[in-house]
Amino acid sequence: MENKQRQIAYKVTISEVLEGKYVKEGGWVPNYVVIGENNVSRINIVGIIIAKIDEGGNGGVLVDDKTGNISIRTFDNSSIFDKVGVGDIILLIGRPREYNNEKYVVPEIIKKINKS
């Protein structure tokens, strides 16, 4: 059996994700955003939640990191947003996605960072 390693979660800014070219792959190959010389399929961002989003029962938040803002959406686990609120500083690890030419992030981990 082939040993699959998890992709690196690159530390990037939101503007890099928004400006990067999104590449959609087929099969089991992960989709990614081209940032510099890297094909980034997992991102690591620190930002502030500036709004909560409720789109037809699917949860989400809008995150800003001073370079831009991006929506964080989930389609099956909106409870991931229960422990965070507007104004919280978070560490986000997730996968960039694109739908109708709008980039967003599907979260894997959202961790509140203490302000102190």
Max Cα-Cα span within the chain: 46
Of residues 11 and 82, which shows the higher confidence score?
Answer: 11
> Taking residues 78-97, what's their average pLDDT?
90
For residues 33 and 14, is the Cβ–Cβ distance under 8 A? no
> Taking residues 103-111, what's their average pLDDT?
94
The pTM assigned to this predicted structure is 0.87
Secondary structure class of 79 (helix, strand, coil)? helix
pLDDT digits (tens, 9 = 90+) for 49-69: 999 987 666 779 999 999 999
CA distances from 80 to 15, 58, 59, 77 (A): 24, 11, 9, 6
* pLDDT attached to residue 4: 64
pLDDT at 112 over 80: yes
Alpha-carbon distance of 101 to 115, in angstroms, equals: 34
Alpha-carbon distance of 37 to 18, in angstroms, equals: 16
